[in-house]
Amino acid sequence: MGLLKRDGSRLLAGAATAEATMAYSRRQGQAFDRGHYSDFRGGVKLSALGLGTFPGAATDATDKALAEIIFRGVTSGLNVIDTAAHYRYGRSLSALAEGLKRAVAAGVDRQALWLMSKGGFVSFPGATPLDPKAYLQTEIIDKGLALAEDCAGLHVLSRPYIRAQIDLSRKALGVETLDAFLVDQPEVHIPVFGKAALIRKLGEIFVELEQAVRDGAINYYGVSSFHAFRVPTDDTLFMSLASLVALAEKAAKEITGHERDHHFALVELPFNAVMLDGFSRFNQITGEGSEASTLQAALQLKLYTVASHGLFKGHLAHHGVDILTQAMPRLTNNAQRALQFNRSTPGLGTTLVGISTPAHLDDVLAVARSPLLSHQSYMALYDRADN
């Protein structure tokens, strides 16, 4: 049945399962290319293109458009949706909830969908207050959700605040369980407090996230970053995937007594045809001691990778990359070619596409129905760029 919300309605129970996502993918029939679904742990199938909910103004019109995008995308074969507690002052959560409600009413199984949210940045309800620092003090620090040393500007890393953002996300979405929750851009704490302090904070946060898994609030967790997984190893903002796995193992041991039972399973980073670091920069050391790119290391460490900025904030939709235009003449525009480049990247699980105009969803679905580039054709793009 599900838990009761404050208004008396019930939270939708369940989370993505192998059986339901497999059935969902099969229902799409021959409409989609064989590469449209990627494999997550336990046989769960996740669409290689997913819907992001960041773009758009905080208006009723955008809310309506986003709800329509979610509904049509979910009923058309896109089962990965990404959001965050602070997106559009919380309005993205509400719009996503409306789209999901319509999709479920139309027969889409909740267990066929992958819903992930993020937290860390302060969630302002409705609009940015005149004095954001005063809001941070009165609504977060004074209420015991964090200490001053947990705050780097308007980013907060504390167990109570992260848990509050998990609960805000799942209740606003109307679901008992989030499939995943990601700590968003924790590297912003490094310039303020140093890397050692960040690692200590993340260790505490991972304990809370393991507890949230045990409590049924989330199924998995991860880290979303803008800089940390793309920069060189000696950059101040760099973060090691292997070290994050070690933190997760320690957290799992504290909660369950077994370090191998951790639920750290995803990393999200920008990746597109002009932000190639995740594939081309060998900045990670795996548990086997070999150097690897972030995408390669994630595969070895059994972490699922999610690409943000698939269209580079819309720039790749308006400005084409000559190499892609030459390599993909059958696709009709720059946006389609940019997305096809991403979904053909070896080791990349899902590319998020943030759109707030329903007509742009047609481009996403057109790419999903196109055959992937062969490995040889994909790698040849890098050879051409070097020459």
Please report, for the domain that includes residue 355, its CATH number: 3.20.20.100
Q: Which residues pair with 47 in a beta bridge?
A: 37
For residue 1, is it within any domain?
no
Helix (H, G, I), strand (E, B) or coil at 303: coil
For residue 4, is it within any domain?
no
For residue 6, is it within any domain?
no
Instruction: Give yes or no for a contact between 16 and 49, defined as CB atoms under 8 angstroms apart.
Output: no
For residue 11, is it within any domain?
no
What pLDDT, on the 0 to 100 scale, is given for residue 314? 82
For residue 12, is it within any domain?
no
Closest Cα partner for 43 from 22, 69, 29?
A: 22
Task: Give, to the nearest 10 degrees, the angle between helix 361-368 and helix 334-343.
Answer: 50
Please give the tally of structural domains in the chain.
Answer: 1
What pLDDT, on the 0 to 100 scale, is given for residue 31? 66
For residue 8, is it within any domain?
no
Q: What is the pTM of this model?
A: 0.95
For residue 304, is it within any domain?
yes
**Average pLDDT by stretches of 10, the chain with 387 residues:** 50 96 88 83 96 95 97 97 96 97 97 98 95 97 98 98 98 97 98 98 98 98 98 97 97 94 97 96 84 96 96 88 93 95 97 93 94 94 72
Q: Which domain holds residue 130?
A: 18-386
Reading phi first (left if > 0) and then psi (alpha if -120 to 50, else beta), residue 194 is in: left
For strands 151-152 and 291-293, give the pairing: unpaired
Closest Cα partner for 264 from 309, 307, 203, 199?
A: 203
Rounded to whole angstroms, the Cα distance separating 130 from 216 reads: 37
For residue 295, is it within any domain?
yes
Q: Write b or e for each residue in 319-357: b if 16 or more Cβ atoms lie within 10 A of its Cβ, otherwise e.
A: eebebbeebbeebeebbbbbbbbbbbbebbbbbbbbbbe
